[in-house]
A and B are shown apart, each in its own frame.
Chain A
């Protein structure tokens, strides 16, 4: 057994113990959904920081962002401004979501929409959007894990199955407390890996200047023509659209609602960019892999054939780090898959239980029953993701995740604007949602679901725009135009919330 594998297994076993132990940590009555699914809303600023960091910066991020840069250069770097601007959105809107969730006992974003607009249909649409946008994201965490397992020489299906069975077991037992505790370990490992990487690897490659000299000139910067595709305009729309979408994902909302106080959300919006700084450095690993020339090395040829450019970072670590530290770095990525996979499956389970099962099938179910259904739902969500990957559908998962960003942003008018105003009408929002979903999906389909940028022709101008941004604009316009009509013609709806609930 190699040193890398021994370190990897030891760290993995450690977090497994931690995951089961977590149920006793600040123990609550696990028969309540807000205990299992939100940790009793008792996470302070520091734990929220670790948990949201572990939740938003996933294993797949660490593998895929440098892979994009490795393959395409500058165009992939939009993830960095995206991960900074998203916190401005978080700072303003999400303390309001926390307050209203606290006041009304909401567990999901769809709960809020149900209360705010009094529309079951709209809440169902929001819940379904959240579930379908998040499922492929969970599957991609498995892809991230598969890549590092292959780097350790563990091939085949059983290692991923073992990892996921373990994950499913402690998520079932401990709920969100498990990923919250494991996130602390994950983040320490990630920081250690990244700091080591940005110090050791450029030195071995002969400095940053030499490293960037290895990048093909056309990939170093964006095209000088702002409207070329890809180009500066598409870059800005990708950064903005992704930033607006990030906190609409159910797993982000879950992390926000689990905080113990409103100030913790604001403090985290200020402190979470520390991870984005790390993300910027991680992105540069793509160039390091390029300069190290790992793709041409025969020992990695097989893995590159299987995983494509997603193998760039693992290959770089294998090439540059001593064996034991490869174990640390790979454990950081694999554990980085477990944390978001757990929170995402909990978020999906909360949505299913609250906004589909209880709303439409068992309106009078007891809190114990509700919590039990959510625990079981979390198992099915993970099982679905596992089957998807074992069936060899990684490519479909990547395409679906790309669509997921376009889908989830369609909840923006209901959630983000809804947090500030009740003027938009539930029916109008539902129609706007249908328009945005159809237009966004259609735009992505035009590239065969390969690209999320769609060229809009406005007069003589060809604007390559992130489909999420253009489709959500359509959604907002439709919702805003139809709202006065519905407000004038239909009975006034009951808003379960009052202005004070948001403060």
Chain B
């Protein structure tokens, strides 16, 4: 089982730490500026990270599919 798991792990998975930290480290984005078209940073940053999370998952998916 453990051997199976280790074989299954790939370095590219570490990429997914980025969206997790970017979204859970709140002090980084708890501010109003720079705003975008009147939308405070707090809001557009988090909405943008939804798309970036999907992008990171897509990169990992492509790497998995190419295996």
Contacts and interface: CB of A to CB of B under 8 A. Distances in A.
B47 A222 contact: no
B26 A87 contact: no
A163 B6 CA distance: 51
B50 A269 contact: no
Contacts of B26: 222, 226, 232-233, 235-236
Interface string A213-225: 0000000111010
Given A222-B26, A226-B26, A270-B58, A84 B38 contact: no
Interface residues of A, number: 47
A372 interface: no
Contacts of A280: 43, 46-47, 50
Contacts of B61: 91, 266-267, 269-270
Interface in B25-55: 25-27, 30-32, 35, 37-40, 42-43, 46-47, 49-51, 53-54
B53 A208 contact: no
A44 interface: no
**Max count, chain B CB within 10 A of own CB: residue among A85, A233, A235, A421:** A85
A239 interface: yes
Interface residues of B, number: 36
A83 interface: yes
Contacts, number: 113
B53 to A, nearest CB: 4
Binding site of B, secondary structure by majority: helix, strand, loop or mixed? helix
A221 B42 contact: yes
B24 interface: yes
A209 B38 contact: yes
Given A81-B49, A271-B54, A274-B54, A240 B24 contact: yes
Interface string B13-33: 100100110011111001110
Given A85-B24, A209-B38, A221-B31, 13 more contacts: A83-B50, A87-B53, A87-B54, A88-B16, A88-B57, A91-B61, A209-B37, A212-B39, A220-B32, A220-B42, A239-B23, A270-B61, A273-B57
6 contacts: A84-B49, A85-B19, A87-B57, A91-B16, A239-B23, A263-B65
